[in-house]
Amino acid sequence: MGNVREAETSELLGLIRRGEATTRPELQDRLQLSRVTLGKRLDALLRSGLVDEAGQDASTGGRPRTVFRIRPGCGTLLAVDIGSARTRLAVTDFAGTILVRDDRLLDLSGGPGAVLPWVRRRLQAMVKQIGATGSVLGAGVCVPGAVDPLSGRLVHPALMPGWHGVDIAAELTGDFDGVPVAVGSDVQVTALGEYRMRWSSSDDIVLVKAGEGIAAAAVINGVVRTGATGAAGEIGHMRIPEGRQCRCGRFGCLESVAGGWALRERLSAAGWTVDSSEELSGLALRGDSLSIELLELSARLVGRALAPVVAVLNPSAVVVAGALADGGAVFLDPLRAALDAVGPQEATRPLVIASAQLGADAGVVGAALLAQDLLTAPAHLDMLLSRVTSRRPAPDSFVKLFT
């Protein structure tokens, strides 16, 4: 496939994957390709089995038009969400629907050797469990820290000693026949999953992840912004007047008083034994007054830190993910109040504040979509089509394109 064809086909796939254009007239209008050229591109995708027909759209008076979609069963994707406390794994179909999942509390301070061997073993076992050996097309991984957008290597992750410069993609690709592996920041990948699956009707959103750590990500015109060095949205390590000694080694970070680990330290000093941010939110929901007080404090500080972000970007929604957001209104209401108090009314009055809808699966779903993005980029498209075509059963009927 030549460079022009790769670029055109990749763009066509992107429109179909995101649901922005799914019929032939819509695709032709967006891509400005001739009828014949578009037919050739679609024909190659249909014959490979990467795309199929998903029925017909509602008639507007003329002939119903065929709707195209990515074929979910064309292969599987591996998804890894390495969290600061819990690591979650999933095997999904090519559309990002989870087929099997697993998770485990893992200490990242032990370095890659304490985490990646378990990840590799469990992914291999999960693939065998669902009979998907040989169907893996790619993998996506997210980590709680900045990832260089060019090299895919971790960049001085504050909460992951021993992980700087680690090439996670190189660690995983050899286990699955050399499939491409995409790596990204957890909050940015979570934003990708939430946006594509639940918020794609909004052009611009900000997602804040409030769990053991605090971070944010911006989706602008449908694109997750990574920043020049992958560190966009690292609000958890901004200095605030209330800040204390942070686990990153600096003093004064937002996270040092608003992060789940800092709140749990306060609970511990009061005699509680709380092992995770999930447990803290659970206590608040059951009416524990100190847990409610701490969640409200965290929410106010996070809302105040988000106010300049909202003022600059003017998003349509702030989506709140992470274990602290499991506290529901206990967390969301004071966050809203803080934004209203500090931010400009023109930006905050119409602003939607909502919990992330994918819950604990947001990271792995986003990681699967990150892998999908990598695989359908021009550089990997030929390999993807070759792998999918080799697995496709012989067609039993001719595919009619021009409907």
Amino acid code (one letter) for 340: D
Cα dihedral 9/385/99/88 (nearest 10): -80
Question: In the numeric block, which tokens belong to residue 220?
Answer: 């602008």
Distance separating alpha carbons of residues 38 and 290, to the nearest angstrom: 61
- What is the full per-residue pLDDT of the chain (403 aa) written as tens digits? 458 888 999 999 999 998 888 999 999 999 998 999 999 999 999 999 999 988 777 655 567 888 999 999 999 999 999 988 889 999 999 999 999 999 998 988 888 999 999 999 999 999 999 999 889 999 999 999 889 988 999 888 877 888 899 999 998 888 888 899 999 999 999 999 999 999 988 889 999 999 999 999 999 998 999 998 888 999 999 999 999 999 888 999 999 999 999 999 999 999 888 988 999 999 999 999 999 999 999 999 999 999 999 999 999 999 999 999 999 999 999 999 999 999 999 999 999 999 999 988 999 999 999 999 999 999 999 999 999 987 766 554 333 333 2
Strands in 129-288 per DSSP E: 136-143, 181-185, 205-210, 214-220, 223-224, 239-245, 251-253
Pick the closest to residue 321 from 350, 287, 294, 353 (CA basis).
Answer: 353
Q: State CA 382 to chain mean position distance.
A: 25
Which amino acid is residue 53, in one-letter code?
A: E
Token digits of residue 338: 């803080």
Please state the φ and ψ torsions of residue 34, each to the nearest 5 degrees. -70, 160
- Pick the closest to residue 20 from 73, 67, 75, 72 (CA basis): 67
- 3-class secondary-structure state, position 318: strand
* CA–CA separation, 127 and 100 (whole Å): 9
pLDDT at 185: 94
